[in-house]
Amino acid sequence: LGCAPGAWCQYLRRRMSPAGAATGTLNGTIIGLDLLEMEPIEGVTFIQGDFREDEGLKALEALLPAEAGGKVDLVMSDMAPNLSGVGVADAARMAFLAEIALDFATAHLKPDGALLIKCFNGSGYSQIVEAFKKVFKTVASRKPKASRARSSEIFLLGRNLKPPK
C-alpha cells in the first residue's frame, strides 16, 4: 500500500527470489498499489489507484490469491500523508492511514501474517501502537537504515493476529 516509487517492491522482489535476483523465478505474489505512477518491476503487479476508495480497494482485493481465500502473508504500507507542518493535522492524517491499513490487514492476513506500516514517532504514535496491540500478538518498531537519523519516520510491525473476540 503506497508503493511508489517502488523501492519496497524491489526489496520484496529480491527477498522472494530463490537467488535473490531482480529477475526470474519468484516465490509468491507481490501486488503494489499507489496514487502515483510506478515504473514496472518484473514480478510485481501494480495498480494505480486510491486505496481509500472502493474502486482501488476492489481492484486490489480482486488480485488476492483465491486459493488462500484472499488471505496474504504480509501487508506493507508505506503510505504517508502530504505533510502540512501542522503537527496535530499531520498526526490525524497519519493515524487515518494506519487505521485503514490495519483494517485491511485484519480482513486479509493469514493468522500468522504480518503488517508493516510507516508512521511518525510523535503525536498520535502511541495510539497507533495501542491499536496494533489489540490486533497482533507481537508488536515492534523498526527504523530502517535508509531512514535519516533525525527523521521521525519509523515502521511499526505487527505479527500473528490475535483470535477475534
Please list the active-site residues.
118
Q: How far apart are CA 161 and CA 105, in angstroms?
A: 9
DSSP H/E element including 127: helix 125-135
The C-alpha cell 490487514 sits at 105
In three-state secondary structure terms, 4 is coil
Closest CA to 162 of 131, 119, 117, 124: 131
3 state DSSP class of 87:
helix
Q: How far is CA 96 from CA 9, 99, 100, in A?
A: 23, 5, 6
> What CA–CA distance (Å, rounded) separates 35 from 37?
7
